[in-house]
């Protein structure tokens, strides 16, 4: 339950309210984690928040988090500069089933900041790209200025082994890309539904509608995975805050197969 | 083997525990209620006090009986001694731009819990399954639990809101005690039956100089417990209950409960198994030293489910549903048992008298009608 002090190596602004934090790895052997897991970040005297890990699992020398400023702790994290310290506990939670997806097509659907916890899975797949079939990323944000990892998306889009589409909910001015919610991208993607694993992360309502569309396409229920968000205080399944029906999200999740949460999604205030 | 210890020789048990270095916690009367606190001798026990409990009401009444353990579940359970309502977790020191975070050390003295009711005994086993479960465990809880001696006392009287017989947790103590007492009072006789449930407990028996109980005395003990089992103030039909609740998350009854529920959190504070906690961070005036404190929390607060943007359970309806379905449904999936032991505290201490056994009955009845 005690955070380990950790030094900031660099920070960079991603969008108006979102920034990425690179921390020095905790031990000699580096920081090892699996895509989809999260850390608890502690700001001295202010508090602690769960933040998913957004870095490359094959680069253990640093710990990378992409953070949106939404409250006093994330505001405290934003104020950190190179060589400042924060406390860190983790990694916690269940990972994306990247290994299970080997031999299948992979469709990743991300909404807004939901791209951050999926990025380690993207790194992981690209690192052994030959082991997977078609690889699709569908990403939707509010507006053009909210697009996360802009340069990186451009680089990825230049690859011939990566089918990547971006859309925005609303657009003004010079935007010439797609406009519409992320589900409108699904018809653009080509994959073999029966042999596809889908990884989804974003607001709950976005995940619900995405699942409906993917099911319509024919992806089996047990091959759809989502990452849930709840109030996580302890990260180790002891404080009770993050319950979602029978699930303790910090321990049993955040990544769940759709089949495990199907009956709970859509029930109000559960 | 079962022994017979004369009631007027109960101080021998106190002496034996004292010699072994235990600090004794047990029932005593304070502020018109039975509370579990440090006790020194049988004189501190609530002799001649019984309680009357019903929805939203608790009264202690003086009786003519010399019985030490005539009370049923008092407001507080043993939880607070193993899982303190407030506990310092760590201190963070900021010096010259660096951070040093040190875990708080907590001294633990061996404790003897004297007078653990069978429902509360089961509640301790449930807390064990939460806090000592697999990889993640609570170190303070573990330290305290390992140093605790449990002396259960079987119930020979049932309270007005008791339903341990329905939950299979009482009125006779199940596994988990070191010693177990049954108090028997008749016109010219007052004694305890004593059984040990562990080597630790057995070692406390010989200093009692108790003789073996006769078969008749043991029969009297069983009969007294049976009388209590037949006199439960409440009952709950548990068969199929987890599935029933899980299938009725959108039932209209939740709206009706919400009209009465004040979301005061009393039920969660008195519950012997509610384990939720939060943390509070604070600093000294200079800001150089920060500390983190763990506090009991309740799923009845709006803040409990807060994530960026707001509370996930803004209505009382969803908070009551969360609590009741957790106790009687999702707990089974999480920890392999109900999160309810039938102590009835949540019924007694609800200021508006909501009775979860009644709510379960209504949900069951109406759900059946809906099918």
Each residue of A242-256: pLDDT tens digit? Answer: 999 999 999 999 999
Backbone angles phi, psi at B272, to 5 degrees: -75, -10
Coil vs helix vs strand at A48: strand
Minimal Cβ distance to A45: which of B287, B309, B333: B287
Provide, as residue numbers in chain A, all residues whose Cβ is less than 8 Å from the Cβ of B305: 230-231, 241
Mutate one of A231, A247, A253, A265 to test the B interface: name it (highest B CB count within 10 A): A231
Within an 8 Å CB–CB cutoff, is residue A4 touching chain B? yes
Question: Does residue B370 have a pLDDT over 50?
Answer: no
What's the rounded Cα separation, in Å, for the pair B279 and A89?
15
The C-alpha atoms of residue B178 and residue B114 are separated, in whole angstroms, by: 10
Using one digit for the tens of pLDDT, what is the confidence trace for A19-45? 999 999 877 888 999 999 999 999 999
Smallest Cα–Cα separation from A260: which of A234, A229, A232, A225?
Answer: A225
pLDDT in tens, B217-276: 999 999 999 999 999 999 999 999 999 999 999 999 999 999 999 999 999 999 999 999
With contact defined as beta carbons under 8 Å apart, do A66 and A18 qualify? yes
CB within 8 Å: B308 and A70: yes
> Which pLDDT score, from 0 to 100, does residue B177 have?
97
Contact B297 A239 (CB under 8 A): yes
Distance CA A39, CA A55 (A): 12
Q: Average pLDDT of B104-127?
A: 95
Q: Which residue from B90, B282, B333 is facing A2, i.e. has the nearest CB?
A: B90
User: Which residues are within 8 A (CB) of A61 and not within 5 positions of it... i.e. 6 or more apart?
Assistant: A25, A30, A31
Closest CA to B71 of B45, B89, B95: B45
Strand A85-92 with A4-15, pairing: antiparallel
What number is the average pLDDT over the span B336-349?
Answer: 97
Residue B136 has its nearest CB partner, among A87, A238, A268, at: A238
Does the structure show a pLDDT above 80 at A75?
Answer: yes
Calculate the average pLDDT of chain A: 95
Q: For A82, name the nearest residue in chain B, comparing CA atoms only.
A: B97
With beta carbons under 8 A apart, name residues in chain B contacting A4: 101
User: What is the per-residue pLDDT for B309?
Assistant: 80
User: What's the confidence (pLDDT) of residue B74?
Assistant: 96
Going by the DSSP 8-state scheme, the letter that residue A104 receives in this structure is: S
Q: What is the rounded (10 degree) CA torsion for A59, A230, A251, B119?
A: 160
Helix ranges restricted to H, B231-329 = 241-246, 253-260, 266-270, 316-325
Task: For residue A203, give how far its alpha carbon lies from the nearest alpha carbon of chain B (Å).
Answer: 12
Residue A80 is classified by DSSP as -
Q: A65: part of which helix (H) or strand (E)?
A: strand A62-68
For position A91, what pLDDT does the model report? 96
Looking at the complex, report in whole angstroms how far the Cα of residue B252 sits from the nearest Cα belonging to chain A.
13
Give the per-residue pLDDT at B204. 93
Look up the CATH number of domain A105-226.
3.40.50.80
- State pLDDT tens for residues A169-178: 999 889 999 9
Is residue B324 very low, low, confident or very high in pLDDT (cuts 50, 70, 90)?
A: very high
Neighbouring C-beta atoms of residue B18, cutoff 10 Å: 15
Are A241 and B304 inside 8 Å of each other by CB? yes
Residue window 55-114, chain B: list those with CB within 8 Å of chain A: 89-90, 92, 94, 97-103
In B, residues 207-246, which contact A (CB 8 Å cutoff)? 246
Summarize chain B as % helix, strand, coil (round to 5): 35, 25, 40
Going by C-alpha positions, the residue among B31, B59, B58, B60 that lies closest to residue B47 is: B60
Q: Tell me if B89 sits within 8 A of A2, measured CB to CB.
A: yes
| pLDDT of B366 | 63
Q: Mapping DSSP to helix (H, G, I), strand (E, B) and coil, where does residue B9 land?
A: helix
Judged by a CB distance cut-off of 8 A, whether residue A1 touches chain B is: yes
- Residue of B64, B30, B23, B24 whose CA lies nearest to B46: B30
Q: What is the mean pLDDT of chain B?
A: 94
B342 pLDDT band (50/70/90 cuts)? very high
Say whether B89 and A2 touch across the interface (CB within 8 A). yes
How many inter-chain contacts (A to B, CB under 8 Å) are there? 114
DSSP assignments along B174-236, one per residue:
-S--SEEEEEEEETTEEEEEEEE-SHHHHTTTGGGTPEEPPHHHHHHHHHHHHHHHHT-S---
Report the pLDDT value the prediction gives residue B134, as an integer from 0 to 100: 63
Q: CA torsion sign, B95 to B97 to B98 to B99?
A: positive
Report yes or no: A74 and A49 within 8 Å, Cβ to Cβ: yes
Report CA torsion sign: A16, A17, A18, A21.
positive
Q: Where are the domains of chain A?
A: 4-92, 105-226, 228-270
Q: Would you call B310 an interface residue with chain A, using a CB distance cutoff of 8 Å? A: no
- DSSP code, position A132: S
The partner residue sitting opposite A269, judged by closest CB among B99, B314, B329, is B314
pLDDT of residue A266: 86
Instruction: Indicate if ipTM > 0.95.
Output: no
pLDDT of B369 > 60? The answer is no
Q: What integer pLDDT is reported at residue A226 of this predicted model?
A: 98
Residues in chain B: 371
pLDDT tens by residue, B344-357: 999 999 999 999 99
Q: Taking CA atoms, what residue in B is nearest to A247?
A: B334
Closest to A47 (Cα-Cα) out of A232, A236, A227: A232
B64 φ, ψ (degrees, to nearest 5): -85, -10
B2 interfacial to chain A (CB closer than 8 Å): no
CB atoms within 10 A of CB B75: 18
> Which parts of A34-166 fold into alpha helices (H)?
72-78, 115-127, 150-157
Asked if B98 lies within 8 A of A85 by C-beta distance, the reply is yes
d(CA A258, CA B267): 34
Q: Could you give the 3-state DSSP secondary structure of residue A234?
A: coil
Antiparallel, parallel or unpaired: β A47-52 and A178-179: unpaired
What's residue B367's pLDDT? Answer: 56
Q: Pick A47's closest partner by Cβ from B99, B281, B322.
A: B281
CB contact at 8 A, B96 and B106:
no
Q: How are beta strands B111-116 and B23-30 bridged, if at all?
A: parallel
Give first-to-last CA distance, chain A, whole Å. Answer: 27
Report which DSSP code applies to B369: H
State how far the Cα of A124 lies from the Cα of A105, in Å rounded to an integer. Answer: 14
Residue of B nearest to A45 (CA): B290
Hey, CA dihedral for B239, B245, B248, B253, is it positive or negative? positive
B354 within 8 A of B261, measured Cβ to Cβ: yes
What's the gap between Cα A59 and its chain centre? Answer: 17
- At residue A196 the predicted structure's pLDDT band, cuts being 50, 70 and 90, is very high
Dump pLDDT digits (tens) for B9-31.
999 999 999 999 999 999 999 99
**CATH code given to domain A4-92:** 2.40.30.10
Please tell me the distance from the alpha carbon of residue B170 to that of residue B163, in angstroms, as a whole number: 8
Contact criterion met (CB below 8 Å) for B112 and B23: yes
User: Dihedral sign, CA of A229, A232, A238, A244?
Assistant: negative
- Chain A nearest-CA residue for B282: A45
> In this model, does residue A166 exceed pLDDT 90?
yes
């Amino acid at each position: 339950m005690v955070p380990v002090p950790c030094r900031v190596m660099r920070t960079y602004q991603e969008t108006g309210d979102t920034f990425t934090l690179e921390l020095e790895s905790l031990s000699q052997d580096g920081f090892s984690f699996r895509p989809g897991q999260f850390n608890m970040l502690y700001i001295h005297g202010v508090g602690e928040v769960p933040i998913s890990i957004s870095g490359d699992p094959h680069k253990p020398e640093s710990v990378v988090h992409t953070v949106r400023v939404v409250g006093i702790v994330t505001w405290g994290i934003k104020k950190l500069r190179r060589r400042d310290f924060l406390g860190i506990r983790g990694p916690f939670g269940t990972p994306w089933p990247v290994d299970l997806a080997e031999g299948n097509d992979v469709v990743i659907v991300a909404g807004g900041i939901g791209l951050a916890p999926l990025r380690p899975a993207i790194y992981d797949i690209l690192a052994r790209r030959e082991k997977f079939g078609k690889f699709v990323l569908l990403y939707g944000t509010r507006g053009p200025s909210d697009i996360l990892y802009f340069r990186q998306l451009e680089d990825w889009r230049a690859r011939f082994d990566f089918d990547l589409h971006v859309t925005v909910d609303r657009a003004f001015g010079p935007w010439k890309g797609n406009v519409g919610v992320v589900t409108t991208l699904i018809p653009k993607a080509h994959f073999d539904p029966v042999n596809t694993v889908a990884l989804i992360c974003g607001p709950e309502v976005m995940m619900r509608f995405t699942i409906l569309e993917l099911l319509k396409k024919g992806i089996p229920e047990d091959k759809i995975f989502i990452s849930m968000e709840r109030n996580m205080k302890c990260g180790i399944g002891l404080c009770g805050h993050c319950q979602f029906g029978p699930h303790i999200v910090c321990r049993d999740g955040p990544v769940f197969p759709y089949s495990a949460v199907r009956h709970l999604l859509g029930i109000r205030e559960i | 083997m079962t022994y017979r210890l004369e009631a007027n020789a109960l101080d021998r048990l106190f002496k034996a525990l004292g010699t072994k270095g235990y600090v004794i916690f047990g029932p005593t009367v304070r502020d018109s209620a039975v509370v579990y606190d440090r006790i020194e001798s049988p004189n501190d026990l609530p002799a001649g006090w019984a309680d009357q409990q019903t929805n939203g009401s608790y009264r202690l009444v003086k009786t003519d009986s010399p019985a030490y353990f005539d009370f049923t579940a008092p407001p507080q359970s043993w939880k607070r001694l193993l899982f303190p309502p407030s506990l310092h977790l760590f201190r963070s020191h900021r010096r010259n731009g660096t951070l040093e975070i040190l875990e708080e050390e907590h001294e633990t003295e061996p404790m003897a819990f004297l007078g653990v009711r069978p429902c509360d005994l089961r509640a301790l086993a449930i807390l064990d399954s939460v806090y000592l479960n697999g990889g993640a465990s609570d170190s303070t809880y573990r330290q305290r639990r390992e140093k605790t001696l449990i002396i259960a006392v079987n119930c020979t009287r049932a309270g007005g809101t008791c339903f341990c017989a329905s939950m299979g947790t009482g009125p006779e103590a199940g596994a988990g005690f070191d010693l177990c007492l049954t108090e028997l009072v008749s016109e010219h006789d007052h004694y305890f039956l004593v059984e040990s449930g562990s080597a630790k407990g057995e070692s406390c028996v010989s200093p009692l100089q108790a003789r073996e109980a006769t078969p008749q005395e043991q029969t009297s003990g069983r009969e007294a417990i049976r009388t209590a089992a037949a006199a439960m103030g409440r009952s709950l039909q548990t068969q199929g209950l987890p599935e029933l609740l899980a299938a009725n998350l959108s039932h209209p009854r939740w709206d009706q409960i919400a009209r009465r529920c004040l979301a005061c959190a009393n039920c969660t504070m008195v519950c012997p198994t509610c384990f939720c906690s939060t943390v509070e961070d604070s600093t000294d005036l200079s800001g150089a030293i920060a500390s983190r404190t763990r506090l009991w929390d309740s799923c009845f607060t709006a803040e409990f489910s807060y994530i960026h943007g707001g509370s996930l359970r803004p209505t009382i309806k969803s908070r009551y549903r969360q609590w009741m379905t957790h106790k009687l449904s999702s707990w089974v999936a999480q920890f392999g048992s109900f999160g309810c032991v039938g102590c009835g505290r949540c019924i007694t201490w609800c200021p508006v008298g909501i009775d979860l056994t009644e709510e379960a009955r209504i949900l069951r009845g109406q759900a059946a009608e809906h099918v």
